[in-house]
């Protein structure tokens, strides 16, 4: 029952409401609990924080009409099983990173988290809201019975943690490295041995020597995992996830049972969560990196020839999927939007930030 109906029925009085025979069932339909499965353990910084924020926003904006019960990775289904669980109706919603499903479901999903050499967080939301991204996400969702919205963004993700310095592209040969998505495919094309390990298992995989290195999210989230305890070298510039979006996806049949105002709440909560999450990353990563350095982490950047190898591999990894018509259309849409956005931000924000840094360095 929405609040307006409640007030109207209250004004009529209990007897009148009971006489219509509508009040009780309408109220019963008004409060729903939806089950959300996720791909990380409870309490994982940035990733789980975004799921919790989304849930809190939906609950508060709906005045309690919609309650979302979160089941972390492994509680109902495994980290990478959430897509099938929601598509099949086993769970109502998932909160995850859609690139986990690029290989198993449809390669178009890579673009709704991140592709190598792709969109920054700001470029992602510009494409999604104003460049056709949201409509393409929905087109993919129709294939699998999902209604999807991006709901979180990690910001730029570092190249990751290594147990040795990477001084040239040759140093990537044979390296056992954790990197998911199309970025992982690209890294594999440079000669590395790429594995996809769920977030909750990265620390152990590094500690046991099962992998030589790993990327996760960024200083704030990586510090929480303790990756500084098992690797010495941290490369902060990364090619694989320039601004990874997270997604809240609902079973489409469940979505269609929601009222228009409840649907608007879900979409608005997702949009707000993307904004909140991107700013959470950007606000916390600088201080977290300083703490990592204080613990002995060596912070480095890849040399140009490594970036050149990444760029070539990224193009090849993308090109491998171009026989899929929808993939090709999503790629063209995102690349055109990013190029257009950057044509402005590079000569406005980019110039300003460079000049501000130059002036402040010279003048204190």
Contact set with Ca ion (CB under 5 A): 157, 215
Residue 175 in tokens? 């390296």
Dihedrals φ, ψ of 291, to 5°? -65, -40
> Could you give the C-alpha distances from 150 to 23, 114, 218, 302, in angstroms and in order?
36, 12, 19, 30
Q: Tell me how far, at minimum, the Cβ of 183 lies from Ca ion, in Å.
A: 8
Cα–Cα distance for residue pair 238/72, rounded to 1 Å: 28
Q: Tell me how far, at minimum, the Cβ of 241 lies from Ca ion, in Å.
A: 5
Residue 261 in tokens? 């105002």
Cα–Cα distance for residue pair 155/283, rounded to 1 Å: 10
Q: Which is nearer to Ca ion, 9 or 157 (CB)?
A: 157
Q: Tell me how far, at minimum, the Cβ of 72 lies from Ca ion, in Å.
A: 18
Q: Which is nearer to Ca ion, 27 or 80 (CB)?
A: 80
Q: Tell me how far, at minimum, the Cβ of 112 lies from Ca ion, in Å.
A: 14
User: Given its phi and psi angles, is residue 7 left (phi above 0), alpha (psi -120 to 50 degrees) or beta?
Assistant: alpha
Q: Which is nearer to Ca ion, 98 or 215 (CB)?
A: 215
Q: Which is nearer to Ca ion, 76 or 115 (CB)?
A: 115
Q: Which is nearer to Ca ion, 81 or 215 (CB)?
A: 215
Q: Which is nearer to Ca ion, 17 or 306 (CB)?
A: 306
Task: Tell me if 122 sits within 8 A of 154, measured CB to CB.
Answer: no
Residue 141 in tokens? 């969702």
Beta strand 176-178 with 298-300: parallel, antiparallel or unpaired?
Answer: unpaired
Residue the block writes with tokens 């019963």: 28
Q: Which is nearer to Ca ion, 38 or 157 (CB)?
A: 157
Q: Could you write out the three-class secondary structure of 147-209?
A: EEEEEEECCCCCCEEECCCCCCHHHHCCCEEECCHHHHHHHHHCCCEEECCCHHHHHHHHHCC
* Nearest CA-CA partner of 239 in 172, 159, 160: 159
Q: Tell me how far, at minimum, the Cβ of 218 lies from Ca ion, in Å.
A: 8
Q: Tell me how far, at minimum, the Cβ of 51 lies from Ca ion, in Å.
A: 16
Q: Tell me how far, at minimum, the Cβ of 203 lies from Ca ion, in Å.
A: 14
Q: Which is nearer to Ca ion, 107 or 184 (CB)?
A: 184
Q: Tell me how far, at minimum, the Cβ of 238 lies from Ca ion, in Å.
A: 8
Strands (E), the chain: 32-38, 66-71, 93-96, 146-153, 160-162, 176-178, 193-195, 213-214, 233-235, 245-251, 298-300
Q: Which is nearer to Ca ion, 36 or 225 (CB)?
A: 225
Residue 305 in tokens? 């020839």
Give the contacts of 153 (CB within 8 A, at least 6 positions apart): 121, 124, 125, 243, 244, 245, 246, 274, 277, 278, 281
Q: Which is nearer to Ca ion, 48 or 215 (CB)?
A: 215
């Amino acid at each position: 029952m929405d609040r307006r109906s409640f007030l109207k029925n209250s004004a009529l009085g209990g007897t009148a409401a009971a006489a219509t025979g509508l009040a009780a069932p309408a109220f019963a339909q008004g409060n729903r609990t939806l089950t959300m499965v996720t791909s990380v353990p409870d309490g994982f910084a940035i990733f789980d924080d975004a799921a919790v924020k989304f849930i809190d926003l939906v609950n508060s904006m709906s005045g309690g009409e919609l309650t979302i019960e979160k089941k972390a990775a492994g509680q109902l289904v495994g980290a990478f099983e959430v897509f099938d669980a929601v598509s099949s109706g086993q769970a109502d919603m998932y909160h995850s990173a859609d690139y986990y499903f690029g290989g198993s479901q449809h390669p178009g999903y890579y673009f709704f988290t991140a592709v190598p050499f792709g969109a920054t967080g700001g470029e992602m939301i510009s494409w999604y809201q104003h460049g056709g991204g949201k409509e393409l996400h929905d087109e993919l969702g129709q294939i699998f019975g999902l209604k999807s919205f991006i709901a979180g963004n990690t910001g730029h993700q570092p190249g990751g943690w290594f147990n040795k310095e990477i001084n040239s592209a040759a140093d990537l040969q044979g390296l056992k490295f954790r990197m998911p998505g199309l970025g992982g495919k690209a890294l594999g094309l440079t000669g590395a041995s790429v594995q996809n390990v769920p977030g909750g298992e990265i620390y152990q995989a590094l500690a046991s020597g099962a992998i030589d290195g790993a990327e996760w999210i960024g200083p704030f989230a990586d510090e929480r995992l303790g990756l500084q305890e098992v690797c010495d070298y941290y490369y902060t510039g990364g090619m694989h996830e320039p601004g990874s979006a997270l997604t809240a996806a609902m079973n489409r049949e469940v979505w269609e049972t929601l009222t228009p105002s409840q649907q608007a709440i879900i979409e608005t909560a997702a949009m707000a969560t993307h904004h909140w999450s991107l700013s959470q990353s950007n606000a916390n990563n600088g201080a977290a990196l300083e703490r990592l350095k204080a613990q002995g982490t060596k912070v480095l950047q890849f040399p140009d020839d490594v970036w050149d190898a990444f760029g070539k591999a990224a193009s090849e990894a993308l090109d491998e999927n171009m026989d899929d018509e929808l993939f090709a259309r999503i790629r063209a849409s995102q690349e055109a939007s990013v190029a257009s956005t950057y044509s402005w931000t590079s000569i406005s924000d980019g110039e300003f930030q460079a000049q501000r840094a130059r002036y402040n360095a010279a003048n204190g």
